Amino acid sequence: MASYASFHFMIFIFIIIPFCALAQSDGIVRVQSILTANEESNQWLSPKGDFAFGFKLLQDTDQFLLSIWYHNIPDKTVVWYANSGNPVPRGSTVQLTAQTGLVLRDPQGIDLWRTNGISSQVDYGFMNDTGNFILKGSSGSSLLWESFKFPTDTILPLQEFVTGTSVLNSRQSNTSFYKGRFFLQFEENGNLLLTASTVNESGTVDEIEYYNSNNSDPTSTSNSGYRLIFESRGIISILKRNNQTQQLGSSSNLPPASENYFRATLDFDGVFTQYYHPRNFTANQKWTVLWYEPDDICAKSISNKGRGACGYNSICNLVMNGRPVCECPDGYTFLDPDDKYGSCMPNSTQSCAEVKQGSAGDLYDFVVLNATDWPHFDYHFQTPSTEASCRQACLQDCLCAVSIFRDNSCWKKKLPLSNGWASPTLTTTAFLKFRRSDAPPVYPSPKGSRPKDRETLILVGSVILGSSLFINILLTVVFCLCTDLIYKKKKPGFHPNSEANLHCFAYKELVVATKGFSEELGRGSFGIVYKGELKQSSKNVGIAVKKLDRNSQDTEKEFRAEVNTIGQTNHKNLVHLLGFCDEGQNRLLVYEYMSNGTLASFLFNSPMPNWKLRTQIAMEIARGLVYLHEECSTQIIHCDIKPQNILLDEYYHARISDFGLAKLLVLNQSRTLTNIRGTKGYVAPEWFRNTQVTAKVDVYSFGVLLLEIICCRRNVEDIEIGEGDFAILTDLVWDCFQERRLDALVENDLEALNEKMMLERFVMVGIWCIQEDSSIRPTMRKASQMLEGVIEVMVPPCPSFSS
Ligand SMILES: *[C@@H]1O[C@H](CO)[C@@H](O)[C@H](O)[C@H]1NC(C)=O
Ligand SMILES: *[C@@H]1O[C@H](CO)[C@@H](O)[C@H](O)[C@H]1NC(C)=O
Ligand SMILES: *[C@@H]1O[C@H](CO)[C@@H](O)[C@H](O)[C@H]1NC(C)=O
Ligand SMILES: *[C@@H]1O[C@H](CO)[C@@H](O)[C@H](O)[C@H]1NC(C)=O
Ligand SMILES: *[C@@H]1O[C@H](CO)[C@@H](O)[C@H](O)[C@H]1NC(C)=O
Ligand SMILES: *[C@@H]1O[C@H](CO)[C@@H](O)[C@H](O)[C@H]1NC(C)=O
Ligand SMILES: *[C@@H]1O[C@H](CO)[C@@H](O)[C@H](O)[C@H]1NC(C)=O
Ligand SMILES: *[C@@H]1O[C@H](CO)[C@@H](O)[C@H](O)[C@H]1NC(C)=O
Rounded Cα–Cα distance for residues 33 and 10 (Å)? 28
Highest mean pLDDT among 1-5, 346-350, 550-554: 346-350
CA nearest neighbour of 680 among 711, 706, 710, 715: 715
Question: Residue 521 to residues 467, 517, 524, 597: CA-CA distances in angstroms?
Answer: 21, 10, 10, 9
Let me know: does 694 contact 671? Beta carbons within 8 Å.
no
Q: 186 pLDDT exceeds 60?
A: yes
DSSP H or E stretch at residue 711: helix 696-711
- Range scoring the smallest mean pLDDT among 194-208, 457-471, 542-556: 457-471
Percent of residues, the chain, with pLDDT higher than 90: 40
The pLDDT of residue 450: 29
250 pocket-lining for ligand 6 (C-beta < 6 Å): no
767-796 mean pLDDT: 91
Q: Is the link from the previous residue into 451 a cis peptide, with omega within 30 of 0?
A: no
CA 437 to chain centre: 37
Q: 460 pLDDT exceeds 70?
A: no
Q: Residues with Cβ < 8 Å from 185, sequence gap 6 or more?
A: 165, 166, 167, 192, 193, 194, 195
The pLDDT of residue 357: 53
| CA 365 to centroid of ligand 8, rounded, Å | 17
Percent of residues, the chain, with pLDDT higher than 70: 80
Q: Whose CA is nearest to atom 14 of ligand 8?
A: 370
pLDDT tens readout for residues 273-305 = 999 999 876 667 789 999 999 999 999 999 888
318/552: higher pLDDT: 318
| CA 450 to centroid of ligand 2, rounded, Å | 27
207 pocket-lining for ligand 3 (C-beta < 6 Å): no
| CA 244 to centroid of ligand 5, rounded, Å | 10
The bound ligand whose nearest atom lies closest to the alpha carbon of 226 is 5
The DSSP-derived string for 377-421 is -EEEEESS--HHHHHHHHHT-TT-SEEEEETTEEEEEPSSP-S-E
Substitution site in 200, 208, 612 for ligand 3 pocket (most atoms within 8 Å of beta carbon): 200
Residues enclosing ligand 5, CB less than 6 A?
242-243
pLDDT band at 607 (very low <50, low <70, confident <90, very high): confident
The pLDDT of residue 360: 72
What is the signed CA dihedral for 525, 530, 535, 541, rounded to 10 degrees?
Answer: 70
SS3 33: coil
Sketch out the chain's domains with CATH numbers: 27-147 (2.90.10.10), 151-199+207-294 (2.90.10.10), 300-430 (no CATH), 492-592 (3.30.200.20), 599-787 (1.10.510.10)
341/800: higher pLDDT: 341
The pLDDT of residue 276: 93
178/206: higher pLDDT: 178
| CA 272 to centroid of ligand 6, rounded, Å | 30
204 pocket-lining for ligand 3 (C-beta < 6 Å): yes
The pLDDT of residue 691: 65
Highest mean pLDDT among 265-279, 535-549, 658-672, 708-722: 265-279
Atom of ligand 7 nearest to the CA of 454: 5
CB neighbours of residue 75 within 10 Å: 12
Q: Whose CA is nearest to atom 8 of ligand 7?
A: 331
728/467: higher pLDDT: 728
The pLDDT of residue 416: 87
305 pocket-lining for ligand 3 (C-beta < 6 Å): yes
Let me know: does 521 contact 544? Beta carbons within 8 Å.
yes
Residue 652: what residue type?
Y
Let me know: does 81 contact 172? Beta carbons within 8 Å.
no
The beta strand positions in 446-576, using DSSP E, are: 503-504, 520-524, 527-536, 539-548
Atom of ligand 6 nearest to the CA of 279: 13
Q: Whose CA is nearest to atom 2 of ligand 5?
A: 243
161/668: higher pLDDT: 161
135/669: higher pLDDT: 135
383 pocket-lining for ligand 8 (C-beta < 6 Å): no
CA nearest neighbour of 791 among 622, 561, 572: 622
Atom of ligand 8 nearest to the CA of 368: 13
123/24: higher pLDDT: 123
Q: Whose CA is nearest to atom 11 of ligand 7?
A: 331
The beta strand positions in 235-323, using DSSP E, are: 236-240, 245-247, 260-266, 272-278, 288-293, 315-318
pLDDT tens readout for residues 436-458 = 765 433 322 222 232 233 222 22
pLDDT tens readout for residues 303-345 = 888 788 998 999 999 988 899 999 999 889 998 888 889 889 8
547 is in an annotated binding site: yes
280 pocket-lining for ligand 6 (C-beta < 6 Å): yes
Q: Residues with Cβ < 8 Å from 439, sequence gap 6 or more?
A: none
The pLDDT of residue 491: 31
The pLDDT of residue 554: 60
The pLDDT of residue 608: 83
Rounded Cα–Cα distance for residues 414 and 343 (Å)? 15
- Range scoring the smallest mean pLDDT among 314-323, 573-582, 658-667, 681-690: 658-667
The bound ligand whose nearest atom lies closest to the alpha carbon of 176 is 2
The pLDDT of residue 202: 65
The bound ligand whose nearest atom lies closest to the alpha carbon of 337 is 7
The pLDDT of residue 553: 58
- Range scoring the smallest mean pLDDT among 95-109, 205-219, 470-484, 770-784: 470-484
DSSP H or E stretch at residue 125: strand 122-127
| CA 199 to centroid of ligand 3, rounded, Å | 9
The bound ligand whose nearest atom lies closest to the alpha carbon of 281 is 6
The bound ligand whose nearest atom lies closest to the alpha carbon of 197 is 3
Q: Whose CA is nearest to atom 4 of ligand 8?
A: 370
DSSP H or E stretch at residue 730: helix 729-738
Q: Which residues are catalytic?
A: 640
The mean pLDDT of the chain is 80
Q: Whose CA is nearest to atom 1 of ligand 8?
A: 370
Residue 102: what residue type?
L
Atom of ligand 1 nearest to the CA of 134: 14
515/803: higher pLDDT: 515
Substitution site in 315, 366, 370 for ligand 8 pocket (most atoms within 8 Å of beta carbon): 370
Rounded Cα–Cα distance for residues 748 and 608 (Å)? 10
Substitution site in 224, 241, 243, 245 for ligand 5 pocket (most atoms within 8 Å of beta carbon): 243
The pLDDT of residue 443: 29
Substitution site in 72, 261, 280 for ligand 6 pocket (most atoms within 8 Å of beta carbon): 280
Given its phi and psi angles, is residue 694 left (phi above 0), alpha (psi -120 to 50 degrees) or beta? Answer: beta
